[in-house]
Amino acid sequence: MAWVGGWYLAAVVALLTVGSLRELYRMAFARRPEGSLAHSLFLRSAPAPGYVFGVLVPVACLALPESRFPGSYLGVLGILLGLTLIVALVRFGLGRARTVVVVEGATVFLGTLYLPVLFGYVIHLRQLASYGVELWGVEAAPPAGACWLTLVLAGCWAEDIAAYLVGTRLGRRKLCPKISPGKTVEGAIAGLAGSVLVTAALGAWFGLPVVHGLALGALMGVAGQLGDLSESVLKRRAGVKDAGAMLPGHGGVLDRFDSLLFNGPLAFYYLRLVFGG
Protein backbone atom coordinates (compact mmCIF):
# COMPACT_ATOMS: atom_id res chain seq x y z
CA MET A 1 0.00 0.00 0.00
CA ALA A 2 2.92 2.36 0.62
CA TRP A 3 3.96 1.78 -2.99
CA VAL A 4 0.46 1.96 -4.50
CA GLY A 5 -0.74 4.96 -2.49
CA GLY A 6 -3.82 6.89 -3.56
CA TRP A 7 -7.31 5.80 -2.56
CA TYR A 8 -6.12 2.26 -1.80
CA LEU A 9 -3.85 3.54 0.94
CA ALA A 10 -6.52 5.98 2.14
CA ALA A 11 -8.98 3.08 2.47
CA VAL A 12 -6.49 1.09 4.56
CA VAL A 13 -5.78 4.10 6.78
CA ALA A 14 -9.52 4.67 7.26
CA LEU A 15 -9.99 1.03 8.30
CA LEU A 16 -7.08 1.21 10.74
CA THR A 17 -8.41 4.48 12.17
CA VAL A 18 -11.92 3.16 12.72
CA GLY A 19 -10.54 -0.06 14.21
CA SER A 20 -8.28 1.84 16.60
CA LEU A 21 -11.12 4.17 17.63
CA ARG A 22 -13.29 1.16 18.39
CA GLU A 23 -10.55 -0.23 20.63
CA LEU A 24 -10.07 3.12 22.33
CA TYR A 25 -13.77 3.53 23.10
CA ARG A 26 -14.02 0.01 24.47
CA MET A 27 -11.00 0.56 26.72
CA ALA A 28 -12.36 3.90 27.92
CA PHE A 29 -15.54 2.19 29.14
CA ALA A 30 -14.14 -1.25 29.91
CA ARG A 31 -15.09 -1.10 33.59
CA ARG A 32 -18.74 -0.33 32.92
CA PRO A 33 -21.02 -3.40 33.21
CA GLU A 34 -21.62 -4.85 29.76
CA GLY A 35 -25.33 -5.23 30.33
CA SER A 36 -26.01 -1.70 31.59
CA LEU A 37 -28.27 0.61 29.66
CA ALA A 38 -25.66 3.37 29.72
CA HIS A 39 -23.08 1.06 28.18
CA SER A 40 -25.44 0.01 25.40
CA LEU A 41 -26.37 3.60 24.63
CA PHE A 42 -22.73 4.63 24.45
CA LEU A 43 -21.75 1.84 22.08
CA ARG A 44 -24.60 2.83 19.76
CA SER A 45 -24.31 6.61 19.81
CA ALA A 46 -21.15 8.18 21.24
CA PRO A 47 -18.58 6.59 18.90
CA ALA A 48 -20.48 7.53 15.72
CA PRO A 49 -18.97 11.03 15.24
CA GLY A 50 -15.51 9.61 15.84
CA TYR A 51 -15.99 6.88 13.24
CA VAL A 52 -17.25 9.43 10.71
CA PHE A 53 -14.26 11.65 11.43
CA GLY A 54 -11.94 8.66 11.16
CA VAL A 55 -13.12 8.07 7.59
CA LEU A 56 -13.21 11.74 6.58
CA VAL A 57 -9.66 12.56 7.66
CA PRO A 58 -7.86 10.16 5.25
CA VAL A 59 -10.14 11.33 2.44
CA ALA A 60 -9.38 14.97 3.25
CA CYS A 61 -5.64 14.30 3.52
CA LEU A 62 -5.66 12.72 0.08
CA ALA A 63 -7.99 15.21 -1.59
CA LEU A 64 -6.28 18.37 -0.36
CA PRO A 65 -2.62 19.40 -0.28
CA GLU A 66 -1.14 19.05 3.21
CA SER A 67 -0.50 22.78 3.42
CA ARG A 68 -4.25 23.44 3.21
CA PHE A 69 -5.46 20.60 5.41
CA PRO A 70 -4.90 21.93 8.95
CA GLY A 71 -6.44 25.36 8.39
CA SER A 72 -9.29 24.13 6.23
CA TYR A 73 -10.50 21.50 8.66
CA LEU A 74 -9.96 23.00 12.09
CA GLY A 75 -13.58 24.16 12.12
CA VAL A 76 -14.90 20.74 11.15
CA LEU A 77 -12.58 19.17 13.72
CA GLY A 78 -13.91 21.40 16.49
CA ILE A 79 -17.54 20.69 15.61
CA LEU A 80 -17.10 16.92 15.48
CA LEU A 81 -15.08 16.81 18.69
CA GLY A 82 -17.61 19.01 20.43
CA LEU A 83 -20.52 16.81 19.31
CA THR A 84 -18.69 13.70 20.46
CA LEU A 85 -18.01 15.15 23.89
CA ILE A 86 -21.56 16.42 24.29
CA VAL A 87 -23.04 13.04 23.37
CA ALA A 88 -20.73 11.26 25.82
CA LEU A 89 -21.55 13.65 28.67
CA VAL A 90 -25.28 13.54 28.00
CA ARG A 91 -25.32 9.75 27.89
CA PHE A 92 -23.22 9.27 31.00
CA GLY A 93 -23.41 12.49 32.96
CA LEU A 94 -26.66 11.70 34.78
CA GLY A 95 -26.12 9.94 38.05
CA ARG A 96 -22.36 9.51 37.62
CA ALA A 97 -19.54 10.81 39.77
CA ARG A 98 -18.12 14.00 38.30
CA THR A 99 -14.55 12.70 38.07
CA VAL A 100 -15.65 9.60 36.16
CA VAL A 101 -17.66 11.68 33.71
CA VAL A 102 -14.69 13.97 33.09
CA VAL A 103 -12.27 11.06 32.53
CA GLU A 104 -14.62 9.21 30.19
CA GLY A 105 -15.62 12.34 28.31
CA ALA A 106 -12.03 13.50 27.93
CA THR A 107 -10.98 10.08 26.62
CA VAL A 108 -13.63 10.19 23.92
CA PHE A 109 -12.86 13.83 23.11
CA LEU A 110 -9.08 13.46 22.88
CA GLY A 111 -9.23 10.05 21.22
CA THR A 112 -11.35 11.39 18.41
CA LEU A 113 -8.67 14.02 17.81
CA TYR A 114 -5.62 11.91 18.59
CA LEU A 115 -6.20 8.90 16.34
CA PRO A 116 -7.67 10.14 13.03
CA VAL A 117 -5.40 13.19 12.78
CA LEU A 118 -2.20 11.27 13.57
CA PHE A 119 -3.11 8.37 11.29
CA GLY A 120 -3.66 10.99 8.58
CA TYR A 121 0.07 11.62 8.48
CA VAL A 122 0.48 8.25 6.78
CA ILE A 123 -1.20 9.90 3.79
CA HIS A 124 0.90 13.05 4.16
CA LEU A 125 4.12 11.01 4.18
CA ARG A 126 3.06 9.18 1.02
CA GLN A 127 2.52 12.53 -0.71
CA LEU A 128 5.95 13.95 0.17
CA ALA A 129 8.29 14.86 -2.66
CA SER A 130 12.01 14.08 -2.58
CA TYR A 131 13.01 17.70 -1.81
CA GLY A 132 16.15 17.47 -3.90
CA VAL A 133 17.32 14.11 -2.55
CA GLU A 134 18.20 11.76 -5.41
CA LEU A 135 16.31 8.70 -4.24
CA TRP A 136 17.82 5.39 -5.35
CA GLY A 137 19.92 7.26 -7.94
CA VAL A 138 18.02 5.75 -10.89
CA GLU A 139 15.39 7.08 -13.25
CA ALA A 140 12.92 4.28 -12.51
CA ALA A 141 12.89 4.99 -8.80
CA PRO A 142 9.66 4.47 -6.84
CA PRO A 143 7.69 7.56 -5.77
CA ALA A 144 9.54 9.53 -3.14
CA GLY A 145 6.57 9.37 -0.79
CA ALA A 146 6.58 5.57 -0.97
CA CYS A 147 10.22 5.60 0.15
CA TRP A 148 9.56 7.95 3.06
CA LEU A 149 6.54 5.97 4.27
CA THR A 150 8.39 2.67 3.96
CA LEU A 151 11.32 4.17 5.87
CA VAL A 152 9.07 5.22 8.76
CA LEU A 153 7.26 1.87 8.89
CA ALA A 154 10.56 -0.02 8.86
CA GLY A 155 11.98 2.16 11.64
CA CYS A 156 8.88 1.63 13.80
CA TRP A 157 8.88 -2.12 13.35
CA ALA A 158 12.63 -2.44 13.86
CA GLU A 159 12.21 -0.65 17.17
CA ASP A 160 9.35 -2.93 18.23
CA ILE A 161 11.18 -6.11 17.26
CA ALA A 162 14.49 -5.16 18.88
CA ALA A 163 12.80 -3.99 22.09
CA TYR A 164 10.78 -7.20 22.33
CA LEU A 165 13.65 -9.60 21.61
CA VAL A 166 16.13 -7.98 23.98
CA GLY A 167 13.58 -7.04 26.63
CA THR A 168 12.14 -10.54 26.97
CA ARG A 169 15.56 -12.21 27.10
CA LEU A 170 17.89 -9.75 28.77
CA GLY A 171 15.60 -7.21 30.40
CA ARG A 172 16.14 -6.76 34.12
CA ARG A 173 15.39 -3.14 35.05
CA LYS A 174 11.81 -1.98 34.68
CA LEU A 175 11.31 1.13 32.55
CA CYS A 176 7.90 2.33 33.83
CA PRO A 177 6.48 -0.38 36.10
CA LYS A 178 3.40 1.62 37.07
CA ILE A 179 2.42 2.08 33.43
CA SER A 180 3.77 -1.00 31.66
CA PRO A 181 5.30 -3.68 33.89
CA GLY A 182 6.67 -5.65 30.93
CA LYS A 183 8.85 -2.90 29.48
CA THR A 184 12.50 -2.77 30.51
CA VAL A 185 15.36 -0.30 30.22
CA GLU A 186 17.36 -2.85 28.23
CA GLY A 187 14.49 -3.31 25.80
CA ALA A 188 14.09 0.45 25.40
CA ILE A 189 17.79 0.87 24.58
CA ALA A 190 17.62 -1.99 22.07
CA GLY A 191 14.54 -0.47 20.48
CA LEU A 192 16.29 2.86 20.09
CA ALA A 193 19.32 1.15 18.54
CA GLY A 194 17.14 -0.87 16.17
CA SER A 195 15.34 2.25 14.98
CA VAL A 196 18.59 4.14 14.41
CA LEU A 197 20.34 1.33 12.52
CA VAL A 198 17.46 0.39 10.25
CA THR A 199 16.44 3.99 9.50
CA ALA A 200 20.02 4.98 8.68
CA ALA A 201 20.69 1.88 6.54
CA LEU A 202 17.41 1.89 4.63
CA GLY A 203 17.50 5.66 4.32
CA ALA A 204 20.99 5.50 2.79
CA TRP A 205 19.72 2.95 0.26
CA PHE A 206 16.91 5.31 -0.65
CA GLY A 207 19.33 8.22 -0.95
CA LEU A 208 18.84 9.92 2.41
CA PRO A 209 22.11 11.30 3.84
CA VAL A 210 23.35 9.04 6.64
CA VAL A 211 23.50 11.86 9.19
CA HIS A 212 19.81 12.53 8.67
CA GLY A 213 19.02 8.83 8.77
CA LEU A 214 20.76 8.54 12.14
CA ALA A 215 19.06 11.65 13.53
CA LEU A 216 15.62 10.64 12.30
CA GLY A 217 16.10 7.10 13.62
CA ALA A 218 17.04 8.42 17.06
CA LEU A 219 14.05 10.76 17.20
CA MET A 220 11.73 7.99 16.05
CA GLY A 221 13.22 5.60 18.59
CA VAL A 222 12.24 7.94 21.42
CA ALA A 223 8.90 9.09 20.02
CA GLY A 224 7.80 5.56 19.17
CA GLN A 225 8.31 4.39 22.73
CA LEU A 226 6.40 7.40 24.02
CA GLY A 227 3.53 6.41 21.75
CA ASP A 228 3.70 2.87 23.09
CA LEU A 229 3.65 4.08 26.69
CA SER A 230 0.71 6.37 25.95
CA GLU A 231 -1.33 3.40 24.84
CA SER A 232 -0.16 1.45 27.88
CA VAL A 233 -1.75 4.10 30.10
CA LEU A 234 -5.13 3.40 28.48
CA LYS A 235 -4.69 -0.37 28.75
CA ARG A 236 -3.60 -0.08 32.37
CA ARG A 237 -6.69 1.94 33.25
CA ALA A 238 -8.96 -0.50 31.40
CA GLY A 239 -7.27 -3.51 33.01
CA VAL A 240 -6.55 -5.27 29.71
CA LYS A 241 -3.35 -6.75 28.25
CA ASP A 242 -4.08 -5.91 24.61
CA ALA A 243 -6.18 -3.16 23.06
CA GLY A 244 -7.98 -5.72 20.91
CA ALA A 245 -7.71 -9.01 19.05
CA MET A 246 -8.03 -7.90 15.43
CA LEU A 247 -4.47 -8.93 14.51
CA PRO A 248 -3.67 -12.47 15.76
CA GLY A 249 -0.31 -12.61 17.49
CA HIS A 250 -0.14 -8.84 17.85
CA GLY A 251 -3.34 -7.82 19.64
CA GLY A 252 -5.27 -4.88 18.32
CA VAL A 253 -4.66 -2.12 15.81
CA LEU A 254 -3.34 0.16 18.56
CA ASP A 255 -0.96 -2.52 19.79
CA ARG A 256 0.61 -2.75 16.33
CA PHE A 257 0.55 0.88 15.22
CA ASP A 258 0.91 2.91 18.43
CA SER A 259 4.50 3.92 17.63
CA LEU A 260 3.51 4.99 14.11
CA LEU A 261 1.04 7.49 15.55
CA PHE A 262 3.87 9.56 17.00
CA ASN A 263 6.49 8.80 14.38
CA GLY A 264 4.35 9.66 11.36
CA PRO A 265 4.02 13.40 12.05
CA LEU A 266 7.54 13.57 13.54
CA ALA A 267 9.13 12.15 10.38
CA PHE A 268 6.90 14.24 8.13
CA TYR A 269 7.90 17.55 9.69
CA TYR A 270 11.53 16.52 10.07
CA LEU A 271 11.81 15.76 6.38
CA ARG A 272 10.05 18.97 5.42
CA LEU A 273 12.20 21.13 7.66
CA VAL A 274 15.50 19.50 6.73
CA PHE A 275 14.89 19.56 2.99
CA GLY A 276 13.08 22.87 2.85
CA GLY A 277 9.68 21.59 1.75
Q: Write the pLDDT tens digit of every residue in 151-197.
A: 999 999 999 899 889 988 887 778 776 667 677 889 889 999 999 99
pLDDT bracket for residue 64 (50, 70, 90): confident
Task: Select from 98, 127, 156 the last residue of a domain.
Answer: 127
Same domain, residue pair 110 and 24: yes
Task: Select from 96, 127, 158 the last residue of a domain.
Answer: 127
pLDDT bracket for residue 95 (50, 70, 90): very low
Mean residue pLDDT of the chain comes to 75
The reply to whether 134 falls in a domain is no
| Mean local confidence (pLDDT), 26-43 | 58
pLDDT score for 44 = 56
Task: Select from 127, 151, 169 the last residue of a domain.
Answer: 127
Give me the domain span that covers residue 49.
1-127
| Mean local confidence (pLDDT), 213-240 | 79
Same domain, residue pair 36 and 105: yes
String of DSSP letters for the chain: -TTT-HHHHHHHHHHHHHHHHHHHHHHHTTTS-TT-HHHHHHHHHTHHHHHHHHHHHHHHHHHS-TTTHHHHHHHHHHHHHHHHHHHHHHHHHTTS-HHHHHHHHHHHHHHHHHHHHHHHHHHHHHT---TT--STTSTTPPPHHHHHHHHHHHHHHHHHHHHHHHHHHH--SEEETTTEEEEEHHHHHHHHHHHHHHHHHHHHHHT--HHHHHHHHHHHHHHHHHHHHHHHHHHHHHT-SSS-SSBTTTBSHHHHHHHHHHHHHHHHHHHHHHHT-
The reply to whether 136 falls in a domain is no
Same domain, residue pair 153 and 106: no
Which residue would you say has higher pLDDT here, 232 or 99?
232
